[in-house]
Each structure stands twice: as C-alpha cells, then as structure tokens.
Chains A and B, each alone.
Chain A
C-alpha cells in the first residue's frame, strides 16, 4: 500500500508568481484535503475534494484553487503569491465513509515566497 506523496518537497517563489503543488492519494482513498501550516501553528483547512468535486472550503481567498483527477490525485494552485503564503502545505487523503474519515497526511511541501 502506497502512502500519500507530495511534490515538490521545497519550493522558492517570488511575490506575484503562481505555484502548483501536487499530491498523490493513498491507494483506495477518494477524498483529498489541503492544509496550510504556518510556522509554530496548527494546520489550517484550505479545501477538500471528493470524487473530483470541491466538497468544502476554509477561509482562504479565491486565488487558492484546486483540482482532483480521476485517479484521485490532486493539485493546489496559488496565484499572485504573497509573502504570507510562505508555509508548509499538507495534503491528506481519506476514504469518505461518512463519520469515519481518518485522514492520512503526506510529508508536505515547504513554500517560501520572497
């Protein structure tokens, strides 16, 4: 069984640029969630995708967008990068069976915006 993988591991961008982060779900999982974790804080929910449809969104602006593909892998896109977007971006996959939706996390992508 393959766990959740994310790419790239590190990324450096400048303010105003655009970035795409990628996530491969754990085998058999149909739901992907993305979180942003600033230094010293707990992760904050960005959005969730279930069977290629957005299934919930946190308090993030529209310049944060995503996709989920038929194989349940996912992308997080961030446009017009700001300095405050510097963070660890975490992807989590789960098998949505209703109440029992244990989430499994990938290693994260560290984004630095200069």
Chain B
C-alpha cells in the first residue's frame, strides 16, 4: 500500500527566502507525482506534474524534482512571498489511477 509523507508539517519563513518542501513515498512504481496548493477551506490547485520518466519540472518560481528510485520529491520555492502562504500537498499516481496524498506542509511567509 502506497504511503506518502511530507516533512515538515508546518514551516514559517520571512519573505524573500528560498525554501524546500519534502515529499517521500514508499512504492516507487508510480506513473506521476503532482504538487498542489490549497488555501484554507478551498479546493486544490495543481502546481506541477512530473511524469515518472522525468527528473524535474519548473513553473515560474517553482521547481519540483523527482527521484523515483529513492521515493523522494522536493518542491523548491524561490524568493517566497506572503501570497505563497498556503498548504502544499504532494500526491502520487500509480496503476490504480487514484492519487495518494501526503498530509501537507502548511507554509506561512511572513512580510
């Protein structure tokens, strides 16, 4: 059974810092990995999707990497802003097509 862990559970940084969020998964037989952002009480916004054959994806100030063999992914956020404050979730998809989520990292960027 696939299990996804996100560390840390919460993170508080001053504005302008670069930061890294971590995600690990137990079963390396994945099709892809997605990073999502969730604002309080809201739905999920897809940030980046990395196919199992890829090593990284970039979108603006976000860069996500994937090391399938070690079961790890990182989300790098450059020059953080208060508007980046949200919960960040990673999820993996395998042959069953369903997404298995971690519990998220709650990020607060202080002005």
Contact = CB atoms under 8 A, between A and B. Distances in A.
Q: Decide whether A and B assemble into one complex.
A: yes
Interface of A: 4, 6, 31, 33, 35, 40-45, 48, 55-56, 58, 88, 90, 92, 96, 99-108, 110
B34 A99 contact: no
A108 B44 CA distance: 9
Contact of B44 (A6, A45, A99, A105): A105
Interface in B71-109: 89, 91, 93, 96-104
A101 B31 contact: yes
Max count, chain A CB within 10 A of own CB: residue among B4, B91, B102:
B91
Indicate the size class of the contact surface on chain B. Answer: 20 to 34
B21 interface: no
B111 interface: no
Contact of A40 (B46, B49, B100, B103): B103
A42 B102 contact: yes
Interface string B29-52: 001101010000111111001011
A103 B98 CA distance: 9
A107 B34 contact: no
Nearest to B44: A105
Contact of B46 (A35, A88, A102): A102
Nearest to B90: A42
Contacts of B36: 105
A43 B49 contact: no
A85 B48 CA distance: 30
Contacts of B49: 102
Contacts of B51: 99-100
B99 A33 contact: yes
Nearest to A55: B97
B75 to A, nearest CB: 15
A56 B52 CA distance: 21
A48 B94 CA distance: 14
Contacts of B103: 40-42
A30 to B, nearest CB: 12
A42 B89 contact: yes
